[in-house]
Structure 1
Amino acid sequence: MQRHEIDNELSTTGAQELLDSASAAHLAYTGKDGTPRVIPVGFFWTGTEFVIATATTSPKVSALAVRPDVALSIDGGDTPGQARALSIRGRADVAIVDGVVPEYLAAARKSMDAGAAAEFEKNVRVMYPRMARIAIVPRWARFYDFGAGRIPKFLQDLAAQAGF
């Protein structure tokens, strides 16, 4: 997928709404034993990369060092008509940083008031002398909005064949 195609997907109104409002996603990666994993993660979108922060001892840190290809899914909506999803594929770049990953705190601030965010930051700084910063630059992206008919091509084809 070309860079402009990725940017077009990420810049659609619905994708931007998900990126601005959501701080939780599902990360798919391959474990050290070669089997797939899908785990919930917090993330922060910088405008160029998705940043996930975690403990340096997290199993995903060592697994991503061996197999960095990942997928990320950010979902929204509680009904079929409201269902939206942003699917990302990329390669994880893991860096161990001293202290707390700044994007970890920025993600938390999206869902907390100032007092709760300050308390969260205080506790996080005690808990994490170092963190792993996982950065994912999208190499492929697709935004789906099922209620608006922005659905995968194979479903479009099936609907057309069925006369919908």
Structure 2
Amino acid sequence: MDAQEIADELGQRGAQELLVTPVAHLAYTVGDGTPRVIPVGFFWTGEQVVIASATSSPKVATLSARPDVAVTIDGDGTAGARALSIRGRASVEIVDGLVEEYVMAARRSMDAETADRFVEQCRKTYVHGMARIAITPSWVRFYDFGAGRLPRFLQELVEAAG
């Protein structure tokens, strides 16, 4: 998928709405070859999906060794029958203090006073830094079943059925 196709998918209004929701699901493969799918908080920078984690989290070592991932965002049920699927490669960087996008995501999802308390507690918790996991999309699809943006195979079935 080329950069323009990725931009077109991510530029869809519904995709933009999903990119500001608080939770996504991250899929990756662990060392024994089995898949994992976990819920994660994330922040969309406009170019990357950024996830923050403790440096001791098992996913940090796994993604450093096996960076191919998939992310799906489907909202909280109020978004209708919509989903954003992203494939890409993760890069892992250990940062001092808190991951900037982690703080921005918290401030986006909480009132100012609650976010301040949360960030202060996080500074005490992550004294040894955090892992910044940045996923650069190489493939993206936005599905809106109610509006007819279906996976290709399903669209072909619908068209064939008349």
Q: TM above 0.5, one fold?
A: yes
Write the distance in 2 (CA, Å) between the matches of 1:111 and 1:96.
Answer: 24
CA distance in 2 between partners of 1:66 and 1:94 (Å): 10
The aligned counterpart of 2:10 is 10
Q: Secondary structure at 1:99's aligned position in 2?
A: coil
Q: Residue in 2 aligned with 1:95?
A: 93
2:132 aligned with 1:133: yes
Question: How far is the alpha carbon of 1:18 from its aligned partner?
Answer: 1.1
Aligned partners of 1:113 and 1:77: how far apart in 2?
Answer: 19
Deviation at 1:27, TM superposition (A): 0.1
After the TM superposition, which segments of 4 or more aligned residues of structure 1 sit over 6 Å from their partners?
A: none
Post-superposition offset of 1:160: 1.5
Tell me if structure 1 keeps the 8 A contact 2:23–2:75. Answer: no
Range moving further from structure 2, 123-132 or 81-90: 81-90
Q: Does 146-155 or 70-79 show the bigger shift?
A: 70-79
Kindly provide the amino acid, as one letter, of the partner of residue 140 in structure 1: W
Q: Deviation string for 1:89-112 (max 9, x for gaps)?
A: 000000001110010011111210
Match of 2:39 in 1: 40
Q: Counterpart of 2:84?
A: 86
Contact in 2 for aligned 1:76/1:83 (Cα 8 Å): no
Whole-angstrom distance in 1 between the partners of 2:45 and 2:102: 11
Taking the TM superposition and a 5 Å limit, the aligned residue runs for 1:114-125 are: 114-125=112-123
How far did 1:19 drift?
1.2
TM-score normalized with structure 2 length: 0.96
Q: 1:124 to 1:77 in 2, by over 3 A?
A: closer
Aligned 8 A contact 1:77 1:83 in 2: no
Question: 1:107: which partner in 2?
Answer: 105
List runs of 5+ in structure 1 lacking aligned partners. none
> Aligned equivalents of 1:61 and 1:76: distance in 2?
25
Percentage identity across paired residues of the two chains: 65
1:110 counterpart SS class: helix
Per-residue CA deviation, residues 76-97 of structure 1 (Å, 9 max, x unaligned), is 3638x92110100000000001
- Contact kept, 8 Å, 1:92 with 1:135, in 2: the verdict is yes
SS in 1 for 2:158: helix
